[in-house]
Every structure is written in C-alpha cells, then in structure tokens.
C-alpha cells in the first residue's frame, strides 16, 4: 500500500544506544543484553514502592469532599480496577472527573511523572494540569498532559534512534499542500479536472492514514468522482512520499504512525514506556481514530487506561474518528469496566429536554437522557427570519437589549456551523461596533505574516528545509520561483547553514541582507532572541508586503509570539510545539487581559465551552443536516451530534435562529437510506412543548421594503482570522 511505503524507512531500525533507554532517572530500570538485544527489566525497588502504596489507607470519599464530586464522579475518580471508560453526557463533569482521577492517582497510587494525560487540545491539557497543581502543589509538578501528537513528538525527540527519526523536521498542512501542488503539477494529467486539487489530495491521503484503509478506498470515500484516475493519483502520492523521505520531513500523521509502528514492532520500546508510566488518562475518547487506537492498543497490557468520553459528541468522522470506539471498548480492552455520569451541571432542564429529544430521534441507541442538577429554567426559542441578514440584525439588537439591562458582552456565545456561515452576523457586529472574537478560523501560527518569519527560524533550525528556504527567498524582491528553486538545488545538500550562506552570496539575485539576517539569527543564544532578530530584519519587507492588509494589526501578533518563544529551550522545540498545535490569538493572551467580548465560534471549536446565553446560528434546511451528508445515514447522524453539541453549550438560555422558507415539503419529508428513514431537517417535527416559536417573517415584512436587511454588511475582519 502506497501510504505505508514511507514507513519502511523506520521498520528495520533498532536501537543500539543504551543511554537512550536509560535516559530517565526515575525509575532506574535495569537494561540487560540478551542475544544482542536491549531488554528492560523492572527494578525491584519500584515494586516494593508499589506494595507500600497498596497498603496505604485512604478514604475514597475524601476526594468527594474536596472536589465536591457526586457519587458517580467519585466512584469513577477512585476506581481501583484495571481499565475503565467513563461514559458521560454533555455538562456532566468529564473534565472535573479526569482531574480528580489524576489527583487520586498522585495522592494514593503512583507519582505524578508516571501519569500521562492525553487530550485533543493544548488548552484542555494545560487546564487539567493547572487545576491538579492548584490542589496538590509540588506533588503534581511532574504531571504531564499533552495532545496525542505532542506526546508522540516528545518521545521521538527524547529517543530519535528508537523511532528512526533522527534529524527529521515536522511540516504543517501548508507545507504538505506545497509538496502536493508540486507533485500534481509534474503530472502529465495536471490539467485534468478529475485529478483532485492539492487540498483534496492532502485530505484523501490523511484520511486513509487515519482510518487505516487503502488509497483506493480513501479516494472512493473522499472523492469518488476521481476513482478512475487512481493510477495517476497513486503516482502523485508516491511523489509526495519520496519528497518527504528525501528531505527527512514528518507530516502530522507520520508522527503518530512511526511511534505506533515501533510500539507494535518492538517490545523493548514498550518496556521503556512502561518503565516511565503506570497510568494513561485519555480525554474525549469518542474522537479517537484507528491510527490513534494503533498507538493505544499495545499499551493496554502495559499501563492502566482511564478514558472519558461521550458517544453523543462524536463529531469528527470526517477526520477518521471512530464513533464505535466507545461502544466496543469492552471488546478492545480486556478486563475493563464502563461507568456512567448522567447528572448535568451546566444547563437547565428545558435546554436538556430539547437536546434529549434531538438524540431520541436517532436510529442509534445512545441510552442517554440528561437530567439537570439546576432544575427548571426558560424554554428555548426558535427565531425564524426571511434571510441571513435579517437573522444577523435581530441577533445584534438582542445583544444590545441585554447589554442595556446591565449584562456583559461575554455572557453571549454565537455558534456557527462553519466560518462562512457567520459572515452576516460578523458584519452586523462590526457595523454595530460590538466587540467580538471569532474562534474557528485560521490560527495565529497559520497566518501568512507569521509563517514568513517562521521560515527564517526553520532554516536556522534545519538548513536542509527547502520549503523554509523557498518561502524565505520569495519574500525578497527580484526572486521568483525559478530563481529560488535553482538556489535551493545548490544548497540543500549542505548540512551547514554557514556553507549554504557562502554559496548563496555568489548568487546575483540573492540579497546579502537576507543572508545576514539568517547569520545573525543562528548566533542567537535563545529562541526569543533569534525570533526578534528575524522580525527586526524582515520588518520593512513584511511592511511592504502587507501594507494594505491589516499591517498594524499583524505586527501586534509578533509581540505575542515573542512572549511564547520564552517558554521553549530551542528553536526546533518552539517550531514543533506550535506547528503540531497551532493556537488562536485568544489562547495566547495573558490571563486577566481578556476583553469583554461576544464569542463567535464554530461548533467544532466549541467542545467543552459553555456560556450563559447561546445563539445557534442558521439552523435551517440544508444546514442541519448539511446537504452533502444526505447520501449517508452515518453522516446524517454525525450532523445530529453536531447540533446536539451546539445546543448543550447553553447554560441558561438557548436561542436557535434560522432563515428561509420552511413551508416546502423538502424540509419536513424523510429521506430513505437503505432500510432506514432520516430527517431532511432535524427541527421539522419539533414538539411545541419543547420550545417557543417566534416567526419574524410576518412581523418584519413591512421593514424589508426599506432594504434594511438586504444590504451588504462590512467585510468581517478579526484579530485572528488573518490571511
């Protein structure tokens, strides 16, 4: 299979360096050589320590008193069995429970450095660690929480020879697109519209890697119209993989795959892992995919798993997430138990009643009916409008009314299906001068001006990074694609930056100024100093490039990034940290400096978020479920879960808005897929007792003649969604 070819490089690599396996001071496990192979044996002293912990007395309900957990949460946090899945609904305290679990383990069962927590976002990882440290103080100093990719990358950097990745550079999606674009352009069929575009090629390739299917099956799922061009697409993918291998690049999926492959192939590596960890805590387990399970599975017999998830919040099927991972947990993990959390602490019962109704319409058996700990509240409302501009204008006026009543802006959250679907409401917010932040678009380290500066740091960290060279050289006047490519061909065989600079000094079109910046940056003692040198050196070039594209806002981002650079010890560590997990600007701002703003957020970015009042935007036919999902019952059910996630963000007030014509049969009729019928529109037969219906189309028809809702609002422009 083409997608596995790249990893033949790693399969046969054995570790011959005892120092790598023995790099951690705790525990000092013995490494014996048997038949010329390194084998790790457990240190007897650590076994004695474990025995001591077992006889240590403790009160299970001490955590209940300290953390104010309910009995279900407490039973989960103090579980003494082998493996456990905690199945919890929205707002039932999943994060609180996993924090209590970490606290329990550190207090009574093991040490902090032996607990590894895996999450899906940097933000949730840091929140969990911070809250545990606030409770336990110095005991929790060595607790680590990471995303899957960050954890795997830390293992690779700690022992690169073990994973066959010494000297490799991590590339992001933009880099992948560049390589795919070059590979596609070299194809004899590059003009053929059936050959997927670079972004689609990247998605096809990644999906196959994550679900563990062949390239052909991935094409059939992601781009079925292109299946007749399978042979040509295979050549493009092979070209991409050869480029990665030649330049020693690791893409996003490689990081998991090479670690998982070595876990499965070499027991001694697993022994090394088990000597460092006793417990693995996994948050949002419903979002794991087969590639992540390939990573986890070998650890089942080595570590104790504590997984937390909600099958009703599985919304990443398009990225390969396996919805059935929760339902098959007992099959996949022997000697495991499933515990449930059912009491909701976030929302009022009226909001939960509507959410329960939505899940209850599914063919899937969630066996989930959330009960509110808070009791009764106000009915959700469904506000219906003629078009999206009228919808946006009403939301703005509603926000103003609550503001006049003394409420803060940050008590409001607007949830949208995609960034594009929020364009009208963003325009209305701008026109009304209501402060807001958009979460869900491009992230800080994915913006063009930031990537321009980072290209210099990439070259300094790895002089063979031809993608970094290409972006950097193209910043300077007089240098085009051909000139840059010719120059790069001359230097990328050199391991030394100094040698490359000396060669480029003789190139007639390469400015000496551009090379001097790299020279000075390479002499910097810290990442912060290096970044500052590069920003200062490139300032005039970037100012000219972005003078008509929000330059004044863009330069403020550099201050934020410079502050972030203080947290890493090397340029490579800095680049990898934020390439693997790009952050929104709001995540990077110092705590306590957040503005009082309305949050506009995509639903896929809102997992774990909550707010007093939530507006779920444009819940209209063709949007829920989205039109492109209509050929698959599985996709329709994921769309149902997307809407469920949106609804369950609301604490006190849920406002669903929609626009268009709802009288047509298409919005209320069913669609037949195999032997089951599915709704064309989720809210077509909503029960009257569950909501209050406010139809503004009749009320505001007279106002439409003055064009108040038909005009174009100003183009949305936010602090973080810069291009």
Structure tokens at 526: 């810290």
Better pLDDT: 631 or 667: 631
Average pLDDT over residues 276-280: 96
Q: What is the pLDDT of residue 297?
A: 95
How far apart are alpha carbons 201 and 223 in whole angstroms?
9
Among 69-78, 229-238, 285-294, 476-485, whose mean pLDDT is lowest? 476-485
Contacts 24+ apart (CB under 8 A), 54-61: 56/108, 58/107, 58/108
Q: What is the pLDDT of residue 186?
A: 87
Among 103-112, 666-675, 703-712, whose mean pLDDT is lowest? 703-712
* Residue 615 contacts residue 343 (beta carbons within 8 Å): no
Alpha helices in 43-170 (DSSP H): 44-55, 62-67, 71-77, 94-104, 122-136, 148-158
Nearest one of 377, 360, 379 to 368, comparing CA atoms:
360
The answer to whether residue 302 scores a pLDDT higher than 60 is yes
3-state secondary structure of 166: coil
Nearest one of 351, 395, 342, 393 to 371, comparing CA atoms:
342
576 CB contacts (<8 Å, ≥6 apart)?
A: 153, 157, 170
Residues in the chain: 723
Is the alpha carbon torsion for 519, 525, 528, 529 positive or negative?
negative
Q: What is the pLDDT of residue 663?
A: 56
Instruction: Give burial (CB, 10 Å; 0-12/13-18/19+) of 483.
Output: middle
Assessment of whether the complete model's pTM goes beyond 0.75: yes
The answer to whether residue 46 scores a pLDDT higher than 50 is no
Nearest one of 319, 312, 430 to 717, comparing CA atoms:
430
Structure tokens at 660: 């268009």
Structure tokens at 663: 């009288």
Instruction: Give burial (CB, 10 Å; 0-12/13-18/19+) of 352.
Output: buried
How far apart are alpha carbons 515 and 247 in whole angstroms?
22
3-state secondary structure of 223: coil
How far apart are alpha carbons 510 and 506 in whole angstroms?
8
Question: What are the backbone angles phi and psi of residue 474, rounded to the nearest 5°?
Answer: -70, -10
* Residue 696 contacts residue 383 (beta carbons within 8 Å): yes
Q: What is the pLDDT of residue 320?
A: 84
Q: What is the pLDDT of residue 128?
A: 94
The answer to whether residue 593 scores a pLDDT higher than 50 is no
Structure tokens at 599: 């949050």
Residue 648 has, within 13 A of its CA and on its CB side, a CA count of 28
Structure tokens at 566: 């203080």
**Model confidence over 62-75: pLDDT tens digits?**
665 566 889 999 99
Structure tokens at 441: 């678009």
Q: What is the pLDDT of residue 711?
A: 43
**Model confidence over 411-437: pLDDT tens digits?**
999 999 988 888 899 889 988 999 988
The answer to whether residue 11 scores a pLDDT higher than 50 is no
* Residue 174 contacts residue 251 (beta carbons within 8 Å): no
The helix-helix angle for 148-158 and 252-265 (nearest 10°) equals: 60
pLDDT-derived band at 594 (thresholds 50, 70, 90) equals low
How far apart are alpha carbons 347 and 220 in whole angstroms?
41
Average pLDDT over residues 359-387: 91
CA triplet 682, 685, 689: central angle to 5 degrees?
Answer: 115
Alpha helices in 566-615 (DSSP H): 571-580, 585-588
3-state secondary structure of 454: helix
3-state secondary structure of 288: coil
Structure tokens at 686: 């909503």
**Model confidence over 309-366: pLDDT tens digits?**
999 999 888 888 887 888 889 999 999 999 999 899 999 999 999 999 999 999 888 8
324 CB contacts (<8 Å, ≥6 apart)?
A: none
Q: Which residues of 618-644 are buried (b: 16+ CB within 10 A; e: fewer)?
A: bbbbebbbeeebbebbebbbbbbbbbb
pLDDT above 90 as % of the chain = 52
Average pLDDT, the chain: 84
Q: What is the pLDDT of residue 92?
A: 94
Q: What is the pLDDT of residue 286?
A: 92
Name the one residue in this structure whose structure tokens are 């990358």: 153
Structure tokens at 650: 């609301």
Nearest one of 458, 453, 538, 608 to 93, comparing CA atoms:
608
How far apart are alpha carbons 382 and 395 in whole angstroms?
12
Q: What is the pLDDT of residue 18?
A: 37
How would you classify residue 494: left for phi > 0, otherwise alpha for psi between -120 and 50, otherwise beta? beta
How far apart are alpha carbons 640 and 314 in whole angstroms?
10
The answer to whether residue 231 scores a pLDDT higher than 50 is yes
Q: What is the pLDDT of residue 455?
A: 92
How far apart are alpha carbons 337 and 278 in whole angstroms?
18
If you compute the radius of gyration of the chain from its CA atoms, what whole number of angstroms results? 27
């Amino acid at each position: 299979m083409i997608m596995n070819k790249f990893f033949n490089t790693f399969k046969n690599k054995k570790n011959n360096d005892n120092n790598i396996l023995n790099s951690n001071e705790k525990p000092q496990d013995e490494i014996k050589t048997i038949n010329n192979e390194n084998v790790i044996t457990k240190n007897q002293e650590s076994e004695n320590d474990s025995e001591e912990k077992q006889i240590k007395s403790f009160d299970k309900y001490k955590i209940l008193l300290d953390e104010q957990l309910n009995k279900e949460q407490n039973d989960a946090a103090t579980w003494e069995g082998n493996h456990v899945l905690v199945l919890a609904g929205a707002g039932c305290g999943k994060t609180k429970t996993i924090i209590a679990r970490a606290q329990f383990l550190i207090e009574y069962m093991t040490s902090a450095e032996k607990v590894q927590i895996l999450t899906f976002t940097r933000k949730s990882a840091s929140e969990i660690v911070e809250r545990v440290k606030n409770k336990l103080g110095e005991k929790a100093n060595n607790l680590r929480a990471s995303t899957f990719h960050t954890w795997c990358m830390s293992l690779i950097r700690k022992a690169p020879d073990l994973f066959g990745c010494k000297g490799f550079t991590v590339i992001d999606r933009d880099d992948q697109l560049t390589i795919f674009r070059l590979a596609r352009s070299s194809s004899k069929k590059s003009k053929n519209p059936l050959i997927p575009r670079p972004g689609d090629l990247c998605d096809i390739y990644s999906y196959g890697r994550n679900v563990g299917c062949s390239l052909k099956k991935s094409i059939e799922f992601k781009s079925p119209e292109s299946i007749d061009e399978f042979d040509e697409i295979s050549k493009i993918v092979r070209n991409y993989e050869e480029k990665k291998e030649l330049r020693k690049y690791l893409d996003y999926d490689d990081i998991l795959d090479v670690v998982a492959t070595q876990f499965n192939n070499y027991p001694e590596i697993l022994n090394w892992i088990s000597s460092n960890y006793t417990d693995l805590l996994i948050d949002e387990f419903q979002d794991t995919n087969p590639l992540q399970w390939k990573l986890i599975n070998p650890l089942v017999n080595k570590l104790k798993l504590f997984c937390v998830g909600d099958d009703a919040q599985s919304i990443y099927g398009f990225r390969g997430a396996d919805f059935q991972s929760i339902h098959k947990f007992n099959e996949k993990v022997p000697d495991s138990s499933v515990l449930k959390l059912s009491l909701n602490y976030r929302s009022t019962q009226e909001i939960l009643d509507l959410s329960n109704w939505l899940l209850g319409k599914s063919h899937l058996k969630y066996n989930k009916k959330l009960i509110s700990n808070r009791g009764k509240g106000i009915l959700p409302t469904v506000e219906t409008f003629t078009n999206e501009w009228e919808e946006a204008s009403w939301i703005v006026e509603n926000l103003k009314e609550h503001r006049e009543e003394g409420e803060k802006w940050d008590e409001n959250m607007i949830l949208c299906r995609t960034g594009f679907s929020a364009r009208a409401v963003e325009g209305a917010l701008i026109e009304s001068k209501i402060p807001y932040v958009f979460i869900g678009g491009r992230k800080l380290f994915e913006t063009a001006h930031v990537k321009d500066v980072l290209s210099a740091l990439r070259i300094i960290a790895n002089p063979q990074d031809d993608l970094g060279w290409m972006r950097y050289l193209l910043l300077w006047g007089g240098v085009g694609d051909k000139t840059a490519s010719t120059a790069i061909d001359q230097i990328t065989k050199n391991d030394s930056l100094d040698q490359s600079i000396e060669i480029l000094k003789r190139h007639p079109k390469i400015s000496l100024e551009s090379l001097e910046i790299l020279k000075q940056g390479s002499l910097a003692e810290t990442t912060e100093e290096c970044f500052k040198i590069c920003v200062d050196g490139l300032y005039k070039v970037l100012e000219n490039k972005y003078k008509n594209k929000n330059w004044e806002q863009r330069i403020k981002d550099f201050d934020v990034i410079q502050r972030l650079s203080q947290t890493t010890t090397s340029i490579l560590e800095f680049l990898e940290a934020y390439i693997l997990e790009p952050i929104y600007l709001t995540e990077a701002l110092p705590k306590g400096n957040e503005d009082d703003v309305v949050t506009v957020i995509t639903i896929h970015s809102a997992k774990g978020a909550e707010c007093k009042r939530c507006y779920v935007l444009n819940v209209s036919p063709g949007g829920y479920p989205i039109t492109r999902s209509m050929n698959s019952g599985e996709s329709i059910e994921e769309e149902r879960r997307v809407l469920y996630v949106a609804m369950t963000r609301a604490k006190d007030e849920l406002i669903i808005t929609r626009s268009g014509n709802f009288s047509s049969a298409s919005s209320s009729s069913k669609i037949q897929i195999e032997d089951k019928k599915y709704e064309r529109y989720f809210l077509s037969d909503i029960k009257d007792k569950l909501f209050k219906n406010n139809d503004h189309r009749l009320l505001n028809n007279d106002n439409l003649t003055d064009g108040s809702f038909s005009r174009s609002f100003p183009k949305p422009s936010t602090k973080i969604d810069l291009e």
